[in-house]
Amino acid sequence: MDRSFSPPLSQAHFDDLLERLREAEETLDAIRHGEVDAVVVGGSSGQKVYTLENADRPYRVIIEQMREGAVTLSADGTILYCNERFADILGHARESLIGREVLHFVAPADTPVFAELMAHGPASGRSAELSLINADSVGVPVNFSVVDLDMGQDSARLLCGVVTDLTRSRQRSHELAAANARLAAEIDVRRRAEESLEVALDAAGMGGWDLDLAQGLIHGSKRFDEIFGREGTPGPWLVGELLARFLPEDRPAVQAGFEAARRVGSIEFELRIERLADGARRWIHVKGRVHRQQGRNGRLAGVVSDVTTRRMTEQQLRQAQKMEAIGQLTGGIAHDFNNLLMVIGGSMDMLEEHMPGDERSRRYFAAARQGVERGALLNRQLLAFSRRQDLRQEAVCIDDRVHSFQGLLERALGETITLQLVEPEARWLCTTDPHQLETAILNLAINARDAMPNGGTVSISTRRVVVDSERAQSVGAAAGNYVAVSIADTGEGMTPDVASKVFEPFFTTKAVGKGTGLGLSQVYGFVRQSDGFITIDSTPGQGTTMTLHFPLTDDPEQARAKDDAAVTLRGTGSVLVVEDDASVRDIAVRSLGDLGYTVFEASHAQSALDVVASGVGIDLVFSDVIMPGDIGGMELVQRLRRSHPAMALLLTSGYTGQAMADQPRPADVQLLAKPYTRATLSAAVDAALEKARARLRDPGKPGV
């Protein structure tokens, strides 16, 4: 062995060297055989990786396959490489693009954007949206992102770019924007429809509602909440919560209505609720229909309105119609009854002169006479109710009247009851019959007294009331200004049922024999005949207020009639009695004969005209108003007034109100109410003759 070339080697060192050699050989071998595809080179600027032939093929494939355009640019924007997709976007062959400046394809407007993109920037890349002009000279919107490729200090600057065609996404956003606009327009139309529906419903006083059957929730409009009296808690109602608002006796009907709606598809009812806010009982009308959702009954929607006022008006109207019907009936009976009383009373007048003088006969006769008088009184009350009494209307200040008979009122009320007269704001005048007014107030005061067996207060007050057309319709009077006089007590009050009947004739809550049941009927008829109306405000246990309304007037001179004396006056002259009822005519003929007149008679108007035409010389024609035949009493006197202006005329009727409404009575012709006595007949005949004589003396002055 040659020692000089062989320094001593440890076995380990040797093994290590051997291993290193093997590793180096293996490395060289692997490189030589192409078992590696990259080599790593260490240098001053760090480790660098050099890929060998074909090593970047997967990347090339990816780049060629992808749906984005890929491009490599030199620093001055020359295209060094581009993929097929990039060429597609521009519509040129790839071969014709390499070597050209990309700026050539940028839309002129976007060149500043592109220049900024090409300027040096951060290594992480940057992007911008711009338009490229394709082979067809059409602008293609793209997203152009570039990144600087660091090739080392000595290499030229390179930029890698990725180009995304935005045409489709732009198109999609346009479509989306258009769809959005359509949707917005639809929403707008729907909202407007909803708004106008709400306005329309509100104008109709209706609330809208929508019931979700599955959830049991009811969504209501603002008016809906108002109708049910819910304040301050917006949001849906639970079905149970709403049901609880109905009166307990009405709830089963509500439930039945909703049950039936599921089967028949619609709902409608008119029932009562207790309003949440103030506990007021109101009538509501509910109407709705089922929405069918996916084949099953999902929702009910509809409207609700408060119909309390309408129902009250209907009720008042029914009441008014009922009273009218009763009035007609009562008036008819009273008319016939009057004629009977006339016959009885008149016959008794005749009989009186032939009466035997014994005490017993006189007593029987007086009892019969009293019966006739009571019958006549009753009849007057019935006629008053049926609005067929002869009112003497004039301008009346109610307060002055009340003060003038305050003493009488206090005596009637007794010691346990305090009378309170409230001083009015002004002394209004109204048109009515003052005597009937006093009777009516006295009547009401006595009723008030009877309602307070243990004492209390009756207060009388007047005020001015303006009645609008809606209210006028419900009370059955004309719209306008009224003077209202209220008679209020602190008594036991009335139930609504009783209050609705108090004006009916013979309705009384008093013990048998204590009242005729005609007092309030008379008040009612009188007020109605004065073109007024009555309202009742009564609560059981709290008292009753009756308010009479009379038309307000400004004319203090509106007097129409005056009182007649009641003294039997004998007279002379010829009288023609026109009367269809033979008994009544007979009585009149005999009475007038007894008074000293020459009497002619006729059973109807035509025969009366014949008698007058025969030239017998009639001073006065005394005619019934209502008679069978073509000519009535009114027309008869009108004809005679024209043909014989000097003739005295007098009418009689048991039935005056209606007849007067039908045909105007000549101003100077008096009307004698049936039943009349010999005294009232003589006074009326005498007055009529006197008036005719006065007219004859002074033809220019019209009769009063």
Partner 1 sequence: MDHDSAPPANPPRYKLRLFITGSTPRSTAAIQNMRRICAEHLQGDYDLEVIDVYQHPDATRDYQIVATPTLVKVLPEPLRKIIGDLSDSERVLAGLNLAQEP
Residue 123 interacts with partner 1 (CB under 8 A)? no
Rounded Cα–Cα distance for residues 397 and 426 (Å): 10
Neighbour count for residue 679 (Cβ, 10 Å): 14
**Residue closer to partner 1, measured from CB, 31 or 75:** 31
Using CB under 8 A as the binding rule, whether residue 31 contacts partner 1 is answered as yes
Question: Exposed (0-12), middle (13-18) or buried (19+): which is 86, by Cβ within 10 Å?
Answer: buried
Size of the site for partner 1 (CB under 8 A): 24
The single residue among 9, 21, 57, 404 that binds partner 1, judged by CB under 8 A, is 57
Residue span binding partner 1 (CB under 8 A) among the ranges 43-51, 144-152, 360-368, 469-477: 43-51
For 32, the token pair is 């030589």
Q: Which range binds partner 1 by CB under 8 A, 52-60, 215-223, 493-501, 560-568?
A: 52-60
CB nearer to partner 1: pick between 23 and 336: 23
Place of tokens 């049941």: 517
The verdict on 42 binding partner 1 (CB under 8 A) reads yes
1, 49, 119, 667: which one binds partner 1 (CB under 8 A): 49
Which residues contact residue 167 at a Cβ distance below 8 angstroms, ignoring those fewer than 6 apart? Answer: 140, 141
The answer to whether 550 touches 397, Cβ cutoff 8 Å, is no
Q: Does 150 participate in binding partner 1 (rule CB under 8 A)?
A: no
One of 18, 51, 171, 266 touching partner 1 (CB under 8 A)? 51
| Piece of the chain touching partner 1 by CB under 8 A; list 44-52, 125-133, 243-251, 400-408 | 44-52
Q: Specify the residue, 48 or 281, whose C-beta has the smaller distance to partner 1.
A: 48
Give the start-end residues of each E strand in 113-250.
126-133, 139-149, 158-165, 206-212, 217-220, 237-238
Stretch that binds partner 1, among 47-55, 84-92, 649-657, 693-701 (CB under 8 A): 47-55
Judged by CB under 8 A, does residue 45 bind partner 1?
no
Minimum CB–partner distance for residue 122 and partner 1 (Å): 20
Nearer to partner 1, 35 or 175 (CB): 35
Residues 6+ apart with CB under 8 A from 407: none
Rounded distance, CA 316 to CA 311, Å?
8
Backbone angles phi, psi at 147, to 5 degrees: -140, 140
Asked if 597 and 644 count as a contact pair (C-beta separation under 8 A), the reply is no
Angle, CA of 676, 678 and 682, to the nearest 5°: 100
* 56 binds partner 1, rule: CB under 8 A: yes
Among positions 35, 195, 314, 635, the unique one binding partner 1 when judged by CB under 8 A: 35
Residue with smaller CB distance to partner 1, 14 or 59: 59
Nearest distance in Å: CB 35, partner 1: 4
Question: What is the three-class DSSP state of 66?
Answer: coil
Select 37 or 188, whichever has its Cβ closest to partner 1.
37
Q: How distant is the alpha carbon of residue 582 from its chain centre? A: 58
CB-count exposure of residue 203 (10 Å: 0-12, 13-18, 19+): exposed
Q: How far is the CB of 75 from partner 1 (least distance, A)?
A: 24
CA distance 620 to 648: 4
Residue number with CB closer to partner 1 (16 or 470): 16
Question: Residue 4 or 47: which CB sits closer to partner 1?
Answer: 47
- Residue 48 or residue 403: which is nearer to partner 1 going by CB? 48
DSSP assignment of 2-24 equals -GGG-----HHHHHHHHHHHHHH
3-state secondary structure of 365: helix
Of residues 11-30, those binding partner 1 (CB under 8 A): 19, 23, 26-27, 30
Contact region with partner 1 (CB under 8 A), list: 33-41, 82-90, 341-349, 588-596: 33-41
- In the set 1, 40, 156, 367, which binds partner 1 (CB under 8 A)? 40
Contact string (CB under 8 A) for partner 1, positions 361-390, x = contact: ------------------------------
Question: Which value, to the nearest 10 degrees, does the dihedral of the CA atoms of residues 153, 157, 160, 161 take?
Answer: 150
Q: Among residues 13, 18, 54, 352, which is the contact residue for partner 1, using CB under 8 A?
A: 54
Find the binder of partner 1 among 1, 10, 32, 58 (CB under 8 A).
58
Kindly tell me which residue out of 9, 18, 38, 176 binds partner 1, with binding defined by CB under 8 A. 38
State in angstroms the smallest separation of the CB of 147 from partner 1: 15
**Is 60 or 292 the residue whose CB approaches partner 1 more closely?**
60
Six-digit token string for 423: 């001083």
Cβ at position 54, least distance to partner 1 in Å: 7
Contact 219, 209 (CB under 8 A): yes
In angstroms, what CA-CA distances link 487 with 442, 453, 508? Answer: 10, 17, 19
- Residue 624 contacts by C-beta under 8 Å, 6 or more apart in sequence? 578, 579, 580, 581, 584, 633, 651, 652, 653
- Give contact residues for partner 1 (rule: CB under 8 A): 19, 23, 26-27, 30-31, 35-40, 42, 46-49, 51, 54-59
